[in-house]
Amino acid sequence: MPELVNVDRIAEAFRVSTRQVQRFTLYEGMPREKRGLYDFEKCLAWYITFLHAQVCGCGPGRCEGFDRESRDVANRRAERADALRGVVELSGKLAGKTAAEIRKRLSEAIEEVYGGMR
């Protein structure tokens, strides 16, 4: 027996608004059992496929996964996003410091990140 849940439960699970769940249903083809009720497992499987297509860029049908170049681009993009978040977190600690102190703190931060990768 499928677990039927309301739009609020789907929105919470997907971390989106209830309106976005309704848009997924209307415009993207997310399955709905009847008005206001969704099969949780079917929707979860649909959302995984939807997110994969967003990242991979694959079309309908069987996906062969990322080719090496696409995977490398996606990985570099994720690394840049992580680095930018790190800079934002670090920026407050650098305010009011001298150039030498900033250079030292940045060197330490780089060592923390890349030192453990050797």
What integer pLDDT is reported at residue 82 of this predicted model? 77
Q: What is the pLDDT of residue 93?
A: 80
User: What's the pTM?
Assistant: 0.53
**Three-state DSSP class for 38?**
strand
pLDDT score of 72: 77
**The pLDDT of residue 59:** 62
Are the C-beta atoms of 65 and 56 separated by less than 8 Å?
yes
Per-residue model confidence (pLDDT) at position 117? 55
How do beta strands 4-5 and 38-39 pair? antiparallel
Distance CA 27, CA 25 (A): 6
- Predicted confidence at residue 45, as pLDDT, reads 93
- Is 103 exposed, middle or buried (CB count within 10 Å of its CB: 0-12, 13-18, 19+)? exposed
Q: Find where tokens 């900033």 sit.
A: 102
CA distances for 103 relative to 93, 97, 108, 109, angstroms: 12, 10, 9, 10
Q: What is the dihedral of CA 42, 45, 50, 55, to 10 degrees?
A: 170
CB 30 within 8 A of CB 13: no
pLDDT tens for the chain, 118 residues: list them. 788 999 999 999 999 999 999 999 999 999 999 998 999 999 999 999 888 877 776 666 666 666 677 777 777 887 887 777 777 777 778 888 898 988 888 888 777 766 655 4
